[in-house]
Amino acid sequence: EVQLLESGGGLVQPGGSLRLSCAASGFTFNNYAMSWVRQAPGKGLEWVSGISGSGGSTYYADSGKGRFTISRDNSKNTLYLQMNSLRAEDTAVYYCAKDHDSSGYYYGDNWFDPWGQGTLVTVSS
């Protein structure tokens, strides 16, 4: 069974940093692109960042460019999101999601299945 388990969320002050992790199991991790998707309280879904299976290609939404860094450690089956210069508007539940395509390439029009349970990031003083 494919499982994704996020961790690393919490309360952080504006301007601070946080690193989220997503531990994957049940599939050949390096064969799949992965993404982070967030959901602000009471709001809709927003794609944040994506990474190819090898980790060689990364993609970001404008909201996180220059502040967020996506990476992966395929030896540990773990996806990361380093978030710096955090703002109040970054407050959200952050989900990691597995790309459906086993080629390892990141295609923006692929679908995500499954998703992790999410980890809450709160940016507040």
What is the binding site for another protein (CB under 8 A)? 35, 37, 44-47, 50, 59, 61-62, 95, 100, 107-109, 111-118
Token pair of 30 as six digits: 């390096």
Smallest distance from another protein to CB 97, Å: 8
**CA within 13 Å, CB half, 14:** 5
Q: Using CB atoms within 10 Å of the CB of residue 90, give its burial: 0 to 12 exposed, 13 to 18 middle, 19+ buried.
A: buried
Closest Cα partner for 45 from 97, 101, 123, 109? 97
User: Residue 24 CB, nearest distance to another protein (Å)?
Assistant: 14
Q: Which is nearer to another protein, 78 or 119 (CB)?
A: 119
Our CB check for another protein shows the closer of 15 and 89 to be 89
Q: How far is the CB of 88 from another protein (least distance, A)?
A: 19
Cα–Cα distance for residue pair 78/22, rounded to 1 Å:
5
Question: Judged by CB, which is closer to another protein: 14, or 91?
Answer: 91
Residue 13 or 25 with smaller CB distance to another protein: 25
